[in-house]
Amino acid sequence: MSSEANQEELQNGTRSTNKQGSKKPPKEKKETVPSGKEVKKETKLGMTVKKNENFGDWYSEVVVKSGMIEYYDVSGCYILRPWSYAIWEVLKDFFDAEIKKLGIQNSYFPLFVSEQALTKEKDHIEGFAPEVAWVTKSGNTELEVPIAIRPTSETVMYPVFAKWIRGHRDLPLRLNQWCNVVRWEFKHPTPFIRSREFLWQEGHTAFATKEEADEEVKIVLELYRKIYEEYLAVPVVKGIKSEVEKFAGGLYTTTVEAFIPNTGRGIQGATSHCLGQNFSKMFEIFFEDDKGERSLVWQNSWAFTTRVIGVMVMIHGDDKGLVLPPKVATVQVVIIPVPYKNVDFNQMLDACNEVSQKLESAGLRVKQDTRDNYPPGWKYSDWELKGVPLRIEIGPKDIENKQVRMVRRDNFEKEDVPLEKVAQRAADLLDEIQANLFKKAKEVRDLCIKKVFTWEDFIEALNDKKMVLAPWCDDVEVEEDVKARTKGDTGAAKTLCMPFEQPDLPDGTVCFASGKPAKRWALWGRSY
Amino acid sequence: MYFPQFIPYSFIEKEASHVEGFSPELALVTIGGGKELEEKLVVRPTSETIVNHMFTQWIHSYRDLPLKINQWVNVTRWEMRTKPFVRTLEFLWQEGHTGHATEEEAEEEALQMIEVYRKFAVEEAAIPVIVGRKSKLETFAGAVRTYTIEAMMGDRKALQAGTSHNLGQNFSRAFNTQFLDSQGEQQYIWQTSWAISTRMVGGIIMTHGDDMGLMLPPRLAPIQVVIIPIWKTDAEKETVLAAATSVHDQLKKEGVRTKVDASEQKTPGWKFNFWEMKGVPLRIEIGPRDVANKTVVVSRRDIPGKSGKMFGISMDPSQLHSFVIAKLQEVQDNLFNIAVSFRDSNIEDVSSFEDLKAAIAAGKWARGPWAGSDADEARIKEETGATIRCFPFEQPSHSGRCFMTQNAAKEVAIFAKSY
């Protein structure tokens, strides 16, 4: 094999342009299953599992083979490779710029929390306590008091808020941090969706009035909607969580809920909480207002995580691999020369360069795949697997006719485009692809929402892998009861949210589960 | 990219000198989710071991090289004595890790990165640094060679501000990270790693700060110009505030990082002190007379008192903008030049151990030809508290005799007490 490679090199006078450190070596790789056990098996380079046949295995396969994730020796922890990390960076850049405009500032609080601080907010710690990882030793010495690793930073930050906030002029205090958190869960880990360590941003803000807090909750939720709908092309439903599902210790939680049709499960996309004065009471965060009276501050916290990437993969990916929305794709266009034996390869390279430059000048993210050790067909599959939205093929006929062939990743439509129109057409196609991905996803999602009035219809829809919109009495016990009655293989049904957009609730409508008068419509489903 | 924070203890143990070097400082997680963990996990002190573990899986042939990755993350080292920014239990940094097919490439990469750090220190942070090679004793646990940028703080102690390591094949041999070269032979890869951390912020504080507080180099200052409106009557307030806002908006449009402090609870004098403490490079004062004359007063943080104040500066947007830009550059240059003079006047060239002892005792750095052994170096540390900061890249043209052993010495080394 090596001498062959050598000869090719000598013939073409080119070196493999593998400079970016291609994450896919030309050899079979061993796969590691999520449970942490190593399974040595020979696998083909492309996808072997079909999305509709075995969604779980399909997902595990696509995130690894596309080069997004690498499994790791610590169960539930994953390596985010550049192909996925770059997406995180796009979203980070967007969100960071937006919150800066709002006057929110970035900061960094410690990773470690003392037990004392962690247990301050009773409800809160009951929510997170079972999932905390503890540092018990340093080097060979046992620590006198074990120290926790942040599962979220309320208990790290709020004691300091109490110190910084004295008077109304110290308000509003609006901070954010981009960091990693650890939640030692035992539920089935899934790359991006549920991992023991993940990256996120957490915003923590304090206000003098509830009105200000309420307003910010809405503004941030809208940013989360944009991330999903405008960047990741994933439709979400905005709503408020039930008392059972809201953030442990908060006043109310607003959420953007997505839905994975293949599994019939809802997934919490991102949350924006109003903590009310619950935490300020516990952490004694008072301020003196302009009348000299002492009040507790009103607080919010809000976060989105690397989970968003998983949702995008699940919604758009297909049997060939990832399908990346152009707005977040690291590589939006890949240019592949199609060489022929009698054609001067340098001429091909020149043609590729020319097109690449045109596209780059138009602000597009382009890559040329001129590796000489792979045939074009292999490259097509490889970049399809990686989900690159647009492929441009340049063969000898194309050079002759001064055109290129463009192929869309989302619907595989091909078209020949004259050279002088190449930049404009590529940009237009990328916009079309972005819009098309969202449109298709929304159509599918909309079909997955079933509106019901009765328990029987509710169960039927649930078993049909749907989200169910049902009139509800908004009672904690009733929700717990529904959960108990619907325990199944894919988990019990719960409220995903009470959508902001409520359909008409005719007078006298009763709750589908309890028969009591219905207060509002709630979206129910099994969930991640 | 992003590697997990938890490292199985067995990984750390793979590279002998690495585990020896880091072992006492490792934070170990033994309980997760209420259960005792099967294998104790280390909270990363640095990521070479995980990186190598993965490089072994990703690198198979020379075509997979060079492989260059970077991550911006937090790391944890359970230090005994801490100091904000300079030495903290947890700190933020970037760590780059690269794998190469040849020793030459790795060496080139390591040198390239220390130059990037040097450039940042000098051009952005206005901190003069000496670039050099660490002694064997001071080299990163597991590296073949460590390059460093050394800065002198206000108390004349040295601060290692950034490092770049040529790891050779130490980790690749320990982790079996091999590649098939173009001749068809299996080789171990050659690696580098390099990092700069939030310690640099400490460096900026300690290099430029003075008795009034912080002094931030304009290139890095979050607020470059603070605008203080000054008024006595309500009528004055309106016009002054309007002028202040206008000046702010104009400067902001041109990319200057600026802020108006119009709070009414504090006097102008209080505000002057406050923003000086915060290290803001330039202050613009606008009072009623300034508004009338369409001028402003500009004060430099780096020149105290009247000498730093410039009166009658035109409020005309383009003129003010050019003025501000020019002054910011002057402040940046001035901070750097002061730091250079300070540092240069506190390095003594020594030709004997006695000279070195005197220089160190006087709080200075000592520079002298060195050909001593590790034991000699350790002795100096024990007797004076000074360590070799580096063998600077910039060497005098003539060689000399080691000031300690009198053997022929090819290079001079720099000794100093350090953070």
Q: What phi, psi does A104 have (nearest 5°)?
A: -85, 140
Q: What is the pLDDT of residues B89-117, one digit of tens each?
A: 999 999 999 999 999 999 999 999 999 99
Q: Looking at the structure, do residues B54 and B186 belong to the same domain, yes or no?
A: yes
Question: Which residues have CB under 8 Å from B116's CB, separation 6+?
Answer: none
d(CA A324, CA A333): 11
Cβ contact, residue pair B63, A85, below 8 Å:
no
d(CA A200, CA A181): 8
Confidence of residue B202 (pLDDT cuts 50, 70, 90): very high
Quote the pLDDT of residue A456: 93
Quote the pLDDT of residue B14: 81
Quote the pLDDT of residue A491: 75
| Inside any domain, residue B310 | yes
Smallest CA–CA distance, residue A515 to chain B, in Å, is 39
Last residue of a domain, one of B321, B343, B365: B343
d(CA A479, CA A482): 5
Quote the pLDDT of residue A44: 65
- Which of A133-142, A234-243, B59-68 is least confident? A133-142
Q: Looking at the structure, do residues B95 and B124 belong to the same domain, yes or no?
A: yes
**Mean per-residue pLDDT for A415-419?**
96
d(CA A405, CA A336): 10
**Mean per-residue pLDDT for B266-295?**
96
> In this prediction, what percent of chain B has a pLDDT beyond 90?
91
> In this prediction, what percent of chain B has a pLDDT beyond 70?
100
Q: Looking at the structure, do residues B270 and B298 belong to the same domain, yes or no?
A: yes
Residue with more model confidence, A10 or B29: B29
Whether A520 contacts A474, CB under 8 Å: yes
| Residue B307 per-residue DSSP state | G
- Cβ-Cβ contacts under 8 Å, A18 against chain B: 63-64
Q: Looking at the structure, do residues B339 and B351 belong to the same domain, yes or no?
A: no
Cβ contact, residue pair A73, B11, below 8 Å:
yes
Confidence of residue B121 (pLDDT cuts 50, 70, 90): very high
**Class for domain A333-432, per CATH?**
alpha beta
Cβ contact, residue pair A73, B73, below 8 Å:
no
Angle at A487 (CA atoms; ends A482, A491), nearest 5 degrees: 110
Cβ contact, residue pair A26, B182, below 8 Å:
no
**Mean per-residue pLDDT for A412-423?**
96
- Best B12, B26, B29, B109 member to test A by mutation, with max A CBs in 10 Å, is B29
Domain topology for A82-315: BirA Bifunctional Protein; domain 2 (3.30.930)
The single-letter code of the amino acid at A175 is L
Q: Looking at the structure, do residues B80 and B203 belong to the same domain, yes or no?
A: yes
d(CA A245, CA A237): 16
- Which pair of tokens denotes residue A171? 């308000």
- Residue A363 falls in which region: left (phi positive, over 0), alpha (psi -120 to 50) or beta: left
Burial state string for A433-458 with b = 16 or more CB within 10 A and e = fewer than 16: bbebbbebbeeebeebbbebbebeeb
Quote the pLDDT of residue A122: 63
Reply yes or no on whether the pLDDT at A31 is more than 90.
Answer: no
**Residues B411, B155, B91, B166, Cα dihedral to 10°:** 0
Q: Looking at the structure, do residues B240 and B351 belong to the same domain, yes or no?
A: no
> What is the number of other CB atoms lying within 10 angstroms of the CB of residue B252?
14
| Inside any domain, residue B218 | no
Cβ contact, residue pair A25, B59, below 8 Å:
yes
Quote the pLDDT of residue A19: 36
Last residue of a domain, one of B208, B243, B267: B208
Reply yes or no on whether the pLDDT at B233 is more than 50.
Answer: yes
Q: Looking at the structure, do residues B327 and B408 belong to the same domain, yes or no?
A: no
Reply yes or no on whether the pLDDT at A16 is more than 50.
Answer: no
Confidence of residue B394 (pLDDT cuts 50, 70, 90): very high
Burial state string for B99-112 with b = 16 or more CB within 10 A and e = fewer than 16: bbbeeebbbebbbe
Quote the pLDDT of residue B114: 98
DSSP codes, A111-143: SEEEHHHHTSSHHHHHHHGGG-EEEEEETTEEE
Quote the pLDDT of residue A83: 97
Q: Looking at the structure, do residues B369 and B353 belong to the same domain, yes or no?
A: yes
DSSP codes, B198-227: THHHHHHHHHH-BTTB----TTT-S-SEEE
Q: What is the pLDDT of residues B329-350, one digit of tens each?
A: 999 999 999 999 999 999 999 9
Residue with more model confidence, A118 or B316: B316
> What is the number of other CB atoms lying within 10 angstroms of the CB of residue A119?
15
> In this prediction, what percent of chain A has a pLDDT beyond 90?
80
Reply yes or no on whether the pLDDT at B400 is more than 80.
Answer: yes
Quote the pLDDT of residue B21: 76
Reply yes or no on whether the pLDDT at A5 is more than 70.
Answer: no
| Inside any domain, residue B39 | no
**Mean per-residue pLDDT for A176-196?**
94
Helix segments in A170-241, DSSP class H: 210-226
Q: What is the pLDDT of residues A421-475, one digit of tens each?
A: 999 999 999 999 999 999 999 999 999 999 999 999 999 999 999 999 999 999 9
| Inside any domain, residue B229 | yes
| Inside any domain, residue B363 | yes
Q: Looking at the structure, do residues B322 and B400 belong to the same domain, yes or no?
A: no
Number of domains in chain B: 3
Q: Which of B5, B41, B54 sits opposite A70 (nearest CB)?
A: B54
d(CA B7, CA A74): 8
d(CA A298, CA B144): 55
- Which pair of tokens denotes residue B207? 């290099």
Residue with more model confidence, B24 or A327: A327
Q: What is the pLDDT of residues A357-402, one digit of tens each?
A: 999 999 999 999 999 889 999 999 999 999 999 999 999 999 999 9
- Cβ-Cβ contacts under 8 Å, B41 against chain A: 74, 133
Nearest of A262, A190, A254 to residue A441 by alpha carbon: A262
Q: Looking at the structure, do residues B155 and B171 belong to the same domain, yes or no?
A: yes
Quote the pLDDT of residue A201: 98
Q: Looking at the structure, do residues B52 and B150 belong to the same domain, yes or no?
A: yes
Confidence of residue A248 (pLDDT cuts 50, 70, 90): confident
Average pLDDT, chain A: 89
Containing structural domain, residue B400? 347-416
Whether A312 contacts A325, CB under 8 Å: yes
Q: Which of B8, B25, B57 sits opposite A74 (nearest CB)?
A: B8
Q: Which CATH architecture has domain A449-527?
A: 2-Layer Sandwich (3.30)
- Cβ-Cβ contacts under 8 Å, A139 against chain B: 23-26, 28, 78
Smallest CA–CA distance, residue B273 to chain A, in Å, is 19
Reply yes or no on whether the pLDDT at A406 is more than 80.
Answer: yes
- Cβ-Cβ contacts under 8 Å, A23 against chain B: 58
> What is the number of other CB atoms lying within 10 angstroms of the CB of residue A201?
19
d(CA A245, CA A238): 15
| Inside any domain, residue B6 | no
Q: Which of A169, A197, A199 sits opposite B265 (nearest CB)?
A: A169
Last residue of a domain, one of B327, B343, B359: B343
- Cβ-Cβ contacts under 8 Å, B67 against chain A: 21
Question: Which residues have CB under 8 Å from B294's CB, separation 6+?
Answer: B314, B315, B316
Reply yes or no on whether the pLDDT at A356 is more than 80.
Answer: yes
Quote the pLDDT of residue A3: 39
**Mean per-residue pLDDT for A300-310?**
97
Instruction: For chain A, give every domain's residue range.
Output: 1-75, 82-315, 333-432, 449-527
Quote the pLDDT of residue A1: 35
Quote the pLDDT of residue A475: 94
| Inside any domain, residue B313 | yes
d(CA B23, CA B125): 33
- Cβ-Cβ contacts under 8 Å, B89 against chain A: 110, 112
Helix then strand then coil, % of chain A, to nearest 5? 35, 25, 35
Average pLDDT, chain B: 95
d(CA B102, CA B122): 31
Q: Looking at the structure, do residues B57 and B175 belong to the same domain, yes or no?
A: yes
Question: Which residues have CB under 8 Å from B175's CB, separation 6+?
Answer: B14, B15, B49, B52, B53, B55, B56
Cβ contact, residue pair A21, B68, below 8 Å:
yes
Helix then strand then coil, % of chain B, to nearest 5? 35, 30, 30
Cβ contact, residue pair B4, A78, below 8 Å:
yes
- Cβ-Cβ contacts under 8 Å, A101 against chain B: none
Quote the pLDDT of residue A10: 33
Residue B279: give its domain's CATH number. Answer: 3.40.50.800
Reply yes or no on whether the pLDDT at A8 is more than 80.
Answer: no
Q: What is the pLDDT of residues A118-146, one digit of tens each?
A: 877 666 656 677 789 999 998 888 998 99
- Cβ-Cβ contacts under 8 Å, A21 against chain B: 58, 64-69
How, if at all, do strands A133-138 and A265-276 pair?
unpaired
Confidence of residue B416 (pLDDT cuts 50, 70, 90): very high
Q: Which residue of A has its CA nearest to B22?
A: A139
Q: Which of A19, A22, A180 sits opposite B5 (nearest CB)?
A: A180
Q: Is the ipTM of this complex over 0.95?
A: no
Cβ contact, residue pair B184, A3, below 8 Å:
yes
Nearest of A211, A223, A202 to residue A276 by alpha carbon: A211
